[in-house]
Amino acid sequence: MRLRITSWNINSIRIRLDLLARVVRHCRPDVLCLQETKVENGRFPRHEVAALGLPHMFLHGQKSWHGVATLARLPLRDCEAVGWCDVEDCRHTICFLPGDIELHNLYIPAGGDIPDPEVNPKFRHKLEMLAALTDYFAARRGDGARLILVGDLNIAPLPTDVWNHRALLKVVSHTPVEVEALTRLQRAYDFVDAVRTRIPPEEKVFTWWSYRARDWRKSNRGRRLDHIWLSPALAPYLREVEVWAEARGLERPSDHVPVTAELELPESWFDAAV
């Protein structure tokens, strides 16, 4: 069975419904994980999203800030919203898909402008959330779960995940302390980076371009902040990935673009779920 998962920081769903429709048409997701929805659950555009062929939804939103949503053609079960570090913001959901696939939708804090946890509470929260997630997955390591972690992780880990490695070493999202924290999280559960499985680490790949750039395409000062990770139980079934960079050039774009992974999964998994 084919399963397509798309992750996208939409940067406010209510002002980008037309763009959402284009993303759905292009990416053809069975499951679409959004970050920065910026809307309370009661004001989420459920009818418009259902009309796009994604009738199953789990929402974890708040007014004006943050928020994640998992939207699917497939039924979702046992969904829960997760909080970290005693901070009341909407950044993490877990849902189960048919085939007993556990899907984590994450929006890691951006971290502000100063990469110092002693003077910048936003950066401290970012590092603390990463550490808490690392402990959570380390405690589960080896449990054999069919697990997918997606989202805007707000860190570009590789030198080729940023437009200029040296220039960004002291810029939040690519500092050594953040890269090390993200690496620990990935290794805690032996996650496989889907994009870098299909696109060689030597090749530059970006998923975010600042709104400040007058011509984002010409300057191409991007970063790869959006990720899809697969557990060891799912990694062998990865067939293709796509970073739809062209979405950054559409009308009223998000500063992030969608990332999609397609898996070809055994039919027997789904027969057993019936």
| Euclidean distance between CA atoms 95 and 76, whole angstroms | 6
Tell me the Cα Rg of the chain: 18
Q: Which of 169, 145, 139 is nearest to 157 (CA)?
A: 169
Give the single-character DSSP code of 15.
G
Paired sense of beta strands 77-81 and 92-97, if any: antiparallel
Examine the pLDDT at 117 and tell me if it is beyond 60. Answer: yes
**Exposed e or buried b per residue across 148-160, where buried means at least 16 C-beta atoms within 10 angstroms of its C-beta:** bbbbbbbbbbbbb
| Euclidean distance between CA atoms 77 and 93, whole angstroms | 12
**For range 149-174, the mean pLDDT:** 98
pLDDT per position as a tens digit, 258-272: 999 999 999 999 975
CA atoms within 13 A on the CB side of 163: 13
pLDDT per position as a tens digit, 56-65: 999 999 999 9
| Complete domains list, the chain, with CATH | 2-273 (3.60.10.10)
User: Is residue 209 classed as helix, strand or coil in its secondary structure?
Assistant: strand
Contacts of 270 (CB under 8 A, 6+ apart): 1, 98, 99
The sheet with strand 2-9 has its strands ordered as 56-60, 68-72, 31-35, 2-9, 259-264, 238-243
pLDDT per position as a tens digit, 196-233: 999 999 999 999 999 998 899 999 999 999 999 999 99
What is the pTM for the complete model shown? 0.97
